[in-house]
Chains A and B, each alone.
Chain A
Amino acid sequence: MADYTLTELMAVTAAREIKDGEVVFAGTGLPMLGAMLAQRAHAPNCIIVFEAGTVASQLAHLPMSVGDPRVMRGAATAAGLSEVFTYVLQAGRVDVGFLSGAQIDRFGNINSTSIGADPRHPKVRFPGSGGSCDIACLAKRTIIIALHEKRRFPETVDYVTSPGWLTGGDSRRQAGLIRGGPTAIVTTKGVMRFRPDTKETYLANYHPGLTAQAVADDTGFLLAIAGATETPVPTPDELRILREIVDPERVFLK
């Protein structure tokens, strides 16, 4: 019996994608857990940026919004969206951004707008892009966090809210995007990464208790699994930081 939960495993896996000293554009939920954990574990010098206007927060309490008063704690700079998007994100100063969505395809394109063939008459409407499209376009790399269900990983998404590798190869650059692209998808079942040439996903890790084949069976597109290994488990220290310092209130931890 594992001594950690799935949410904890995902938060730790996401945190490990952040390197020390990097500028991190963090969204609400799991990315905040990951960024706060990274800052207190292996990446003490990472800089957390929130799109609503703060740079280099030293979070003491988990925010529930990127505009939460909690993101002001220890911040080095406070301004607004225009300043952060223009001078920090668009100017190329963000190393890693986090994204999530309702549907993700094999090239890491994300839909967080609506379900249904015609977005003017959707079956289900979601909030919309927010800053996701901007982060997807302009961060040096992005990490996607997702619930792993077959319907959430279809062959093609109904609406490309946030561009990943588009149709693979060099299509992203052809579209005019000058940098970026997803490097990992951390899901409830494993971790997918992207082939350097074709930009197609492959399974890099499957979570403990699962098999690579079981993960592929729960994926709507054909997922290459050769060479996949088990996801490294959280260390006791990471779990302690997550539970006692990052989210003792269990806002996002389950």
Chain B
Amino acid sequence: MDKLIELTEAAALVPDAATVSFGGFTTQRHPMAFIYELVRLKRRDLYLFGHSPGGDWDILIGAGCVKRVELAYEADEAFNTIGPRWRLAVQRGEIEWEDYSNFAMVSRFAAGAMGIPFMPIRSLLGSDVLARQALTQEQRAADARTSPKKLHVMNSPFDPDDCVVLVPAIHTDFAVIHVQKASADGIVRIEGQTFADVQQALCADTVIVTAEEIVPEEILRREPERNPIPYFAVKHVCHAPFGAHPYAVFNYYDYDPRQLKVYHDNAENDDAFRQYLDRFVYGVKNHAQYLEAVGGKTRLDTLTADAAFGYRPDLKRRRLD
């Protein structure tokens, strides 16, 4: 079955107030082309679940697309140790959130993917991640998609002296992941670290895959052990070359330090952030035009991965001027 659709078509399937999770990790493999479409579509009240997102969430939060999030971390790591729009949204009371840890969030996705109601973990004990909650009981009660309880501590029924923390399963309306290769019928090849893409995909009602390359299924079927998601769980496939820019895709291209600098130089300030959106998101029609706006082939050629490394060993990452 051919599941290929245009990126613009796929993004339009996500309605206001949908629950969504995006693949990737901080500065890697986020489905940015899809996210820019959501910003252009001016989606509102999205409810996001993630472990360690970065600028994928930051731009959505800054553009006013997001109402509630459950997460462990939001930043572009060493490029900027805080997501500027996330910080501002929290400090201004413009977003509702709940804090977990990475292990807790990926265990929650895993529970959803397995079809069980929770997962026991040995983390969080003694912390305020366990003791405190950011969402009030009223806020939890007001949205049935939020777990009525943040977590639950229990002793093992097999050993009363052994204590674990139960974290609630996640189910989302959509999961959108960006991968290296996919076939038109939805076989997915992830190269390098998988992050939590597999668990995130398998706890969603609708899985949308954006891929650097669309390849014939017989190529992917030659090494089925490298295709971690049952293809019938994938609803739509989009071809999106450089679809994670300015973030890295192992074996394809590196992160773009210059574009990340432009983002972070602008994102701290409301007017400058608005200008960034105007120039790179609202002011372009699609991802091809976006790639032109960030410097086109000249820029992208500087990011293309060296096949021996899977990244760009000579990439200049500091002191760019």
Question: In the complex, are the beta carbons of B126 and A177 less than 8 A apart?
Answer: yes
Question: In the complex, are the beta carbons of A131 and B318 less than 8 A apart?
Answer: no
Which parts of A188-244 form the interface with B (CB within 8 Å)?
none
Say yes or no: A60-B78 contact (C-beta < 8 A), given A81-B106, A82-B196, A134-B123.
Answer: no
Binary contact readout A116-137 vs B (1 if CB under 8 angstroms, 0 otherwise): 0001111111111111111011
Tell me the smallest distance from the CB of A34 to a CB of chain B, in Å. 15
Chain A residues within an 8 Å CB radius of B310: 69, 72-73
Q: How many Å lie between the Cα of A172 and that of B122 in the bound state?
A: 13
When C-beta atoms are compared, the residue in chain A nearest to B52 turns out to be A130
Residues of B within 8 A of A (CB): 24-29, 51-52, 71-79, 81-83, 86-87, 90-91, 93, 99-104, 106-107, 109-110, 121-129, 131-132, 134, 136, 153, 163, 192-199, 248-251, 254-255, 305, 309-311, 313, 316-319
Which residue of B82, B110, B122, B136 has the most chain A CB atoms within 10 A of its CB atom? B122
Binary contact readout A137-173 vs B (1 if CB under 8 angstroms, 0 otherwise): 1100000000000000000000111110010000110
Question: In the complex, are the beta carbons of A113 and B122 less than 8 A apart?
Answer: no
When C-beta atoms are compared, the residue in chain B nearest to A164 turns out to be B126
Tell me the smallest distance from the CB of B51 to a CB of chain A, in Å. 6
Q: How many Å lie between the Cα of A119 and that of B179 in the bound state?
A: 36
Binary contact readout A59-93 vs B (1 if CB under 8 angstroms, 0 otherwise): 01100111111111100001111100110011000
What are 25 A-B pairs at a CB distance below 8 A? Answer: A51-B102, A53-B193, A60-B309, A64-B27, A68-B248, A69-B310, A72-B193, A81-B51, A82-B196, A82-B199, A119-B132, A127-B73, A127-B82, A128-B74, A129-B129, A130-B52, A130-B102, A131-B101, A133-B101, A134-B102, A134-B123, A138-B123, A175-B126, A176-B125, A177-B122
When C-beta atoms are compared, the residue in chain A nearest to B79 turns out to be A64
Q: How many Å lie between the Cα of A128 and that of B319 in the bound state?
A: 28
Tell me the smallest distance from the CB of B141 to a CB of chain A, in Å. 16
Chain A contact-residue range equals: 35 or more
Residues of A within 8 A of B (CB): 28-29, 50-54, 60-61, 64-73, 78-82, 85-86, 89-90, 113-114, 119-134, 136-138, 159-163, 166, 171-172, 175-178, 249-252
Tell me the smallest distance from the CB of B163 to a CB of chain A, in Å. 4
Chain A residues within an 8 Å CB radius of B318: 249-251
Question: In the complex, are the beta carbons of A176 and B153 less than 8 A apart?
Answer: yes
Tell me the smallest distance from the CB of A106 to a CB of chain B, in Å. 16
Chain B residues within an 8 Å CB radius of A130: 52, 72-73, 101-102
Other-chain contact of A125, B27, B91, B248, B255 (Cβ < 8 Å): B91
When C-beta atoms are compared, the residue in chain B nearest to A29 turns out to be B78
Q: Which 9 A-B pairs have the closest CB atoms?
A: A53-B193, A130-B73, A175-B126, A176-B163, A163-B126, A67-B25, A69-B311, A80-B194, A64-B78
Other-chain contact of B193, A54, A125, A129, A166 (Cβ < 8 Å): A54
Question: In the complex, are the beta carbons of A160 and B127 less than 8 A apart?
Answer: yes
Prevailing SS type, chain A contact patch:
loop
Question: In the complex, are the beta carbons of A252 and B123 less than 8 A apart?
Answer: no
**A64-B78, A72-B250, A82-B106 known, 10 other contacts, Cβ within 8 Å:** A61-B309, A67-B24, A81-B25, A86-B107, A119-B132, A126-B82, A131-B72, A133-B123, A133-B129, A159-B128
Tell me the smallest distance from the CB of B98 to a CB of chain A, in Å. 10
When C-beta atoms are compared, the residue in chain A nearest to B134 turns out to be A120
Question: In the complex, are the beta carbons of A131 and B102 less than 8 A apart?
Answer: yes
Chain B residues within an 8 Å CB radius of A81: 25, 51, 102-103, 106, 195-196
Tell me the smallest distance from the CB of B39 to a CB of chain A, in Å. 22
Question: In the complex, are the beta carbons of A28 and B77 less than 8 A apart?
Answer: yes
Say yes or no: A119-B134 contact (C-beta < 8 A), given A82-B110, A176-B126.
Answer: yes
Chain B residues within an 8 Å CB radius of A123: 91
Question: In the complex, are the beta carbons of B192 and A69 less than 8 A apart?
Answer: yes
Question: In the complex, are the beta carbons of A131 and B78 less than 8 A apart?
Answer: no
Chain A residues within an 8 Å CB radius of B107: 82, 85-86
When C-beta atoms are compared, the residue in chain B nearest to A252 turns out to be B78
